[in-house]
Amino acid sequence: MSLHDSPVHSRDDIVEVNPLYARLGVDEVPKNRMPDRPMAADAAYQIVHDELLLDGIARTNLATFVTTWMEPQARTLMDECADKNMIDKDEYPQTAELERRCVRMLGDLWNAPDPIGCSTTGSSEACMLGGLALKRRWQQRTGSSARPNLVMGANVQVVWEKFCNYWDVEARLVPIEGDRFHLDGESAVAHCDENTIGVVAILGSTFDGSYEPVAEIAGALDDFEQRTGSHVPIHVDGASGAMIAPFLDPDLRWDFSLERVASINTSGHKYGLVYPGIGWVVWRDKGTLPEELVFKVDYLGGEQPTFTLNFSRPGSQIAAQYFNFIRLGRDGYHAVQQKCRDIARYLSSALGDMKPFEPLTNGFELPAFAFKLRDDIEAYTVYDVSMRLREHSWIVPAYKFPKNRDDLHVLRIVVRNGFSRDLAELFLRDAQRLVPMLERQSKPFASEDATSFHH
């Protein structure tokens, strides 16, 4: 018996069914094995629907970067494409064409000279593909049998540590120091050598919403190559910022306009404004994506080039991404992202005016910011604040920063499309109301063990 097994007759093993739902005489459903008999579709729907009521409310989840609202026309398109397996390009050629158009649009948005790329299930798969291309190009370039390494800030999302673990690459995590909360040019180069396959620059740290200085890192790597002869390309993890910066920060140099940038990934389901899950990865040209990584397979009716870790998934998100691109255009994306940034700036400023809070960042890059409690607050922690906010249906994560600054415990708010100024005012009202309750505490009740949020 496993640790998760329950006694056969335990009530923990049974879902009780409301008599009004039980149209086939079913009054309970087993949790951990399939029931013997069918039930009406409406009854099954209501059982599942009722259990899902216990989930948090997506629109008031201020922890996630993932899109929680789309227009009804996009939802209709997604319903219409849910049964299309996007990998079957011979059977669904127009879905494949929409994917190619999205890649070309992203390449144009990011100034790629001759873009090549694909959709993925999310940024995590896209990062894996970008990392694999870096590793293979390093092997081709050097012919070395040494163990390669990848340089990145300690603030990276955990997928990069997974990549290094899964693909036998040394993860060189550059520690954050003092008030430097992410990678910069000097710290990146200090960790590079002849076995470095690349540097990962984050356009929008999940810890505090700040951009890493890609142009500065590229310049430092130019100097490093002149001194050592070692070529180190950059992969930009633009999970969020790659769909923010082109519209709101047009003068920022971070993309393929920098020759050292080999590849970029983004999450279509974050500020690409599509429901989860879809990501994108684009290489600057065919020379940055090794040909031997691209499989040409005879699959379900035709030869298809493919470079993905996953095969079957619905065409829904591809259709929705293309819908957004032609529906909004550049001006529409600018308007949506600017509204998000404006609300993030407003929230950061308003929280800073409240006695216990001190903003760490201000939402001037990603529409997200971190804030902490002032140093003289002793009766409660950021984890107490997070717990109290959840009582008002606001999901605001509390967490600590990486090693060397793990003394810093913060909360973070992400502003997404659909989080309006009115919702922001409601949030501020609830935050203001909970402060007196927290101040009446004699000591903290919640610690970092109280959170399940991890980067």
**Domains identified in the chain and CATH numbers:** 11-55 (no CATH), 72-324 (3.40.640.10), 334-450 (3.90.1150.160)
385 close to 358: Cβ distance less than 8 angstroms: no
Q: Residue 5: what pLDDT?
A: 46
Q: Residue 6: what pLDDT?
A: 42
Q: Residue 344: what pLDDT?
A: 98
Mean pLDDT score, 26-43: 85
Which tens digit of pLDDT belongs to each residue from 148-178?
999 999 999 999 999 999 999 999 999 999 9
The mean pLDDT of the chain is 92
Question: Would you say residue 2 has pLDDT above 50?
Answer: no
pTM (predicted TM-score): 0.92
Name the band, by pLDDT with cuts 50, 70 and 90, for residue 20.
Answer: low
Cα–Cα distance, 120 to 132 (Å, whole number): 14
239 close to 265: Cβ distance less than 8 angstroms: yes
Which tens digit of pLDDT belongs to each residue from 210-226?
999 999 999 999 999 99
Mean pLDDT score, 6-12: 54
Which tens digit of pLDDT belongs to each residue from 109-149?
999 999 999 999 999 999 999 999 999 999 999 999 999 99
In sequence order, which residues have a C-beta less than 8 Å from that of residue 29 and are 6 or more positions away? Answer: 14, 15, 17, 35, 39, 47
Question: Would you say residue 7 has pLDDT above 70?
Answer: no
Q: Residue 74: what pLDDT?
A: 97
Tokens of 86: 């996007």
Poorest-pLDDT segment among 52-56, 86-90, 325-329, 350-354: 86-90
Question: Would you say residue 23 has pLDDT above 60?
Answer: no
Cα–Cα distance, 85 to 87 (Å, whole number): 6
Mean pLDDT score, 317-321: 98
**Radius of gyration over every alpha carbon of the chain, rounded to an integer in angstroms:** 24
In sequence order, which residues have a C-beta less than 8 Å from that of residue 286 and are 6 or more positions away? Answer: 114, 116
Poorest-pLDDT segment among 14-18, 84-88, 228-232, 400-404: 14-18
- Range 204-214 burial, b when 16+ CB lie within 10 A, else e: bbbbbbbbbbb
Q: Residue 14: what pLDDT?
A: 80
Question: Would you say residue 452 has pLDDT above 70?
Answer: no
Question: Would you say residue 13 has pLDDT above 90?
Answer: no
Cα–Cα distance, 427 to 419 (Å, whole number): 10
